Amino acid sequence: MSLWVQRTSTGGGTLVEYVDQTGTQGWCTTPLGFSSSGNIVANAFLPDTQVTGPVLSVLTWKHIATTYSQTHGLTLYVNGVSVGNTGAQANNAPNTAVTLTLGNALISGYCDPQSITRGPFYGYLDEFRVYSRELSAAEVSGLANPL
């Protein structure tokens, strides 16, 4: 997935949350958001692993992207540059339709955000995209640095 983010305040917040479509199957994950200290964080679901990136400045647009494959694991990019990855890992997320929520956490209780502070994101989001395959580093760089 990729998106442009501009924060208007410091601290944590949820950028993306996935919940099983009915909200009753007990499946939820917070794949992208901010820790209480303002670091951008990307999470992978089962096994629960994460990549923690830098603190993003307030009132500055940043391009954020995550890629995933079982071979390469979860990779977090800021402005087209990788800031870390989990290494190879299986995808154990249930094969079920999800409701995707941007900018807030709507389900409480069973959703494990790891180090992301659940709750509203204060700022702006633009050009949110979800891809059905792992993008290459060159493709992510192209999204962050359009001609």
pLDDT of residue 24: 62
pTM tops 0.95: no
pLDDT of residue 94: 72
pLDDT of residue 48: 80
Domains of the chain with bracketed CATH: 2-133 (2.60.120.200)
Q: Is the pLDDT assigned to residue 97 strictly greater than 90? A: no
Q: Is the pLDDT assigned to residue 37 strictly greater than 90? A: yes
Q: Compute the mean pLDDT over every residue in the chain, rounded to the nearest whole number.
A: 90
Measured distance CA(12)–CA(119) in Å, rounded: 8
73: left (phi over 0), alpha (psi -120 to 50) or beta: left
Return the percentage of the chain with pLDDT > 90, whole number: 65
Burial zone of 125 (CB within 10 Å; 0-12 exposed, 13-18 middle, 19+ buried): middle
| String of DSSP letters for 80-133 | TEEEEE--S------S--EEEEESS----SS-B-TTS--S---EEEEEEE--SS
